[in-house]
Structure formats: C-alpha cells, structure tokens
C-alpha cells in the first residue's frame, strides 16, 4: 500500500536520470562547506580566478580520492581536473582522435558520447558485448577491420546494462589495445558505488588508458567536477597545453573547493557511502515490485536494464507510462548497433525524490505491462 495523495499522483515521476537521490546528510555537509569557505580570507579569489586544470591542492585531493579505487597512490601530476565527465570525454576525443577517426564503443553505450563524437566528426564503432561488457574477440576484429584510434568502455556498472567486467577481461582488452596501438578511455563514474569492484583498467594498464571519474553519479550532479588520470605526467601536461586558452572545460572554483574539502575531511567518502546504502534500499524496493519481470542490475546500482515481455514495444510502454505520469527512457537511445537493446528499457531508481515515489512508479509500470500483455 502506498500513501500517495491525489495531488501526488498528478506529479510526474522520472525513472530517467541516473543521478543519486539526495541523502539525508548532504544538506548539512553543503552548509558547513559554504560557511567554512565564506570564513576564509581567500574566498574572494574563488570569484576572481580560474582553476585551470586544478590547483596542486585539488590534484592532491584527487589523488587521495582515486586511491580508493586504484588501491595505490596516483601521482597528482597525472591528474587533470575538469568541469564534468562529459567535458573530460570531449577533450579526450579531441586530443586522441581526429575528425573522421573511428572510436570503439560497446554496442550499447552512454548516449551522451554519441553527441560528443558527432560534434567532433568521430565515427563510433560498436563492438559486441556479453554479460561482462565488450568481448575481446570483437575488439580485436574491429581493430583489424577499421583501425580505430581509441576505445571508450565502461567496465564497472556499464550504462545501461549494469555489467561489471572481470579482471581477466580487463587485462585481455588492455593487452589487445597495447599490441595494436589503440588508446582506451575508461569511464568509471559509477565505480565508486560498488564495494569490492575490480580495480580500474588504468590501475594495471595505465600506459594505454585515460581514466575518467566524477562525483555526479556517486554523490550528486551539483558537485560538478571530474578527474582525468593520464597515462603519465608528461601526457597530462601535453593535453593541458593543447587546451591553452580554451576555458569551457575548467572546473568551477567553488565546486573544486567544496570537493577538495570534502575529500580531505572524509565527508565525500561518507556521502558516497550514504548513497550506496540508499541504492541498496531502492534495489530492494525494485526487486519487490519487479519480481515477476526479468532485469539485469547490481545491488549497489541506481538503475537496471529491464527486459520487456514478448509483444511489448519500447515506444508503446514509454507512451503509456507517460499518460500515467511515469517518465521512461527507451533502451533504443543507448544503441550503437541496430537492435542491440532487444526489447529493453533502462529504469533509474535514484531519480524519484522519495522511496514512496519509486514504489508507486514501479507498481504503476508493472500494472501497465500486465494490461498491455493481456
């Protein structure tokens, strides 16, 4: 039974945006950080100065944060601080590939990359994937046939399938890239949510990998900041110099300052843990509501890849759900190879404001599916 009022039922509930819910301790942490910054004598400089690639202190904070995933200290000189993960993708594509060059992706992939690649004249080259992600044999075949300059993969909580690539698979793909002169771009924006996740590809194959992470998917999009880990400090320096005078990718000074403080104080880790715990609870709600349906997900993931019953089309379900105020995103938008979504949709559990909203939306979705299938 849910407690939604008539007014609640008229509101739209989105199952679209893969952002974490606002956890209870975020407001207090934000107020504390702003108060501390306002009390510092240098706070006016946050308005007056750019944070070009991140200060040394920003990079030291990044190194401390990244150590949680890499299992070892990262040289701060390898770190580039950017405004967001999308900024990181954009500048890496411009640096690693020329217009007309092919970039490998899994046959289902983050749809935002398609728009970035299109704006830069890059061709996305889809490779087949299985329950772990990209298949090494498919990667090698694509390299031999099309000679791509780079590859973009999401080894941990792949979007949209939630796949987690094994260490063996990561090593195999890195070795193929190394032997064939292909550079890997590793998107690890969800990696911080998974306890005991395999280390990033960049941890063991840093020589061929540019690593991206941010806080938008593990703490909140308001902490709009991302880190690139370059293969070497000189490589990071070359990339930054290639962007001299271009400011769209600079981190916002206030966001960088808050992130830096939260990391050193342990607040960022605590907030990430709170989001992880909320994800576990929301997964339980989803498992209860969707028990009769088939979906791929992971316990600490804030979304799932739902398989629709035979005869139900993605577009029809999206339209019917919208009539009831439930906003869905069809699986088709993640397709890099035609038909790769195979009657799936991605459901996001973090975007509803409350657990009650999530339960109501999922119950309504199940009702629509049953009525459509009957």
The rounded distance, in Å, linking the Cα atoms of 251 and 268 is 17
DSSP count for the chain of H helices, then E strands: 14, 15
Domains by residue range for the chain, with CATH: 6-23+269-373 (3.90.1150.10), 29-268 (3.40.640.10)
**H helix runs in the chain, sequence order:** 6-10, 26-39, 45-48, 56-70, 85-96, 111-120, 136-146, 167-180, 201-204, 233-242, 253-265, 267-289, 314-323, 355-373
Report the candidate in 201, 40, 57 with the shortest Cα–Cα distance to residue 65: 57
Full pLDDT tens readout for the chain, 374 residues: 455 544 444 579 999 988 899 898 899 999 999 999 988 877 778 888 888 999 999 999 999 999 999 999 999 999 999 999 999 999 999 999 999 999 999 999 999 999 999 999 999 999 999 999 999 999 999 999 999 999 999 999 999 999 999 999 999 999 999 999 999 999 999 999 999 999 999 999 999 999 999 999 999 998 889 999 999 999 999 999 999 889 999 999 999 999 999 999 999 999 999 999 999 999 999 999 999 999 999 999 999 999 999 989 999 999 999 999 999 989 999 999 999 998 999 999 999 999 999 999 999 999 999 998 77
Burial 325-348 (b: 16+ CB within 10 A, else e): bbbbbbbbebbbbeebbebbbbbb
Strand partners, 330: 345
The pTM is what?
0.94
**Cα–Cα distance list, 325 to 99, 320, 354, 360 (Å):** 41, 9, 15, 11
Torsional class of 181: left (φ above 0), alpha (ψ -120 to 50), beta (otherwise): left
The rounded distance, in Å, linking the Cα atoms of 106 and 182 is 15
The rounded distance, in Å, linking the Cα atoms of 46 and 85 is 22
Q: Count the neighbouring beta carbons within 10 Å of the beta carbon of residue 74.
A: 22
Report the candidate in 253, 305, 247, 230 with the shortest Cα–Cα distance to residue 74: 230
């Amino acid at each position: 039974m849910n407690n939604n009022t008539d007014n609640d039922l008229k509101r739209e509930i989105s199952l679209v945006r893969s952002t974490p819910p606002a956890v209870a301790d975020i407001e207090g942490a934000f107020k504390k950080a702003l108060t501390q910054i306002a009390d510092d004598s240098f706070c006016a400089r946050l308005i007056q100065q750019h944070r070009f690639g991140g200060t040394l202190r920003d990079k030291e904070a990044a190194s401390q944060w990244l150590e949680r995933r890499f299992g070892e200290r990262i040289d701060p000189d390898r770190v580039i601080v950017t405004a967001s993960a999308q900024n990181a993708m954009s500048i890496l594509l411009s640096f690693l590939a020329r217009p007309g060059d092919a970039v490998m992706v899994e046959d289902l992939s983050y749809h935002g990359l398609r728009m970035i690649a299109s704006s830069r004249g890059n061709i996305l080259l889809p490779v087949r994937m299985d329950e772990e992600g990209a298949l090494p044999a498919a990667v090698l075949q694509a390299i031999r046939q099309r000679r791509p300059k780079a590859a973009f993969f999401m080894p941990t909580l792949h979007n949209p399938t939630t796949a987690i690539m094994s260490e063996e698979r990561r090593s195999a793909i890195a070795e193929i890239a190394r032997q064939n002169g292909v550079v890997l771009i590793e998107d690890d924006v969800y990696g911080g949510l998974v306890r005991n996740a395999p280390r990033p590809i960049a941890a063991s194959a840093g020589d061929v990998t540019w690593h991206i992470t941010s806080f938008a998917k593990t703490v909140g999009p308001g902490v709009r900041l991302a880190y690139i880990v370059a293969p070497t400090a000189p490589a990071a320096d070359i990339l930054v110099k290639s962007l001299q005078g271009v400011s769209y990718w600079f981190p916002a000074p206030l966001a960088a300052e808050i992130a830096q403080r939260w990391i050193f104080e342990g607040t960022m880790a605590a907030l990430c843990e709170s989001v992880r715990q909320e994800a576990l609870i929301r997964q339980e709600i989803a498992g209860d509501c969707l028990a009769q349906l088939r979906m791929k997900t992971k316990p600490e993931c804030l979304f799932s890849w739902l398989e629709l019953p035979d005869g139900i089309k993605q577009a029809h379900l999206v339209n019917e759900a919208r009539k009831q105020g439930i906003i869905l995103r069809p699986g088709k938008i993640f397709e890099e190879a035609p038909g790769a979504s195979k009657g799936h949709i991605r459901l996001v559990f973090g975007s509803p404001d409350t657990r009650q909203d999530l339960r109501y939306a999922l119950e309504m979705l199940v009702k629509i599916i049953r009525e459509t299938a009957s």
